Amino acid sequence: MHFHDAGPVIVPLTGFPVSKSGNLQGKATLTAPQGSDLAAGLIYAMIHTQNYSAGEIQATLVKQ
């Protein structure tokens, strides 16, 4: 699992549980342009699985 910003991986997420449920907490430092992209809804999380190596789940990050 990792975060993308219109291109390559910008933040790899390690320690994500290999199960059907779970939580993951952590911190990441973004560059100023990445922070702007996050505010604009351009950063997304991608989860890859064995069956879908190109990415099974994609979720855009939004502020709530």
51 token code pair: 């069956």
Per residue in 3-52, pLDDT (tens digit) is 988 888 999 887 776 777 777 778 889 999 999 999 998 999 888 888 87
Residue count of the chain, please give it.
64
According to the model, what pLDDT value does residue 17 have?
A: 67
Burial 19-56 (b: 16+ CB within 10 A, else e): eeeeeeeeeeeeeeebeebbeeeebbbbeeeeeeeeee
Contact between residue 56 and residue 47 where contact means Cβ atoms under 8 Å apart: yes
């910008």: which residue's tokens? 10
> What are the sequence ranges of the domains in the chain?
2-60
Q: How confident is the model at residue 57 (pLDDT cuts 50, 70, 90)?
A: confident
Segment 48-64 shows an average pLDDT of 80
Cα 1 from Cα 55, distance rounded (Å)? 9
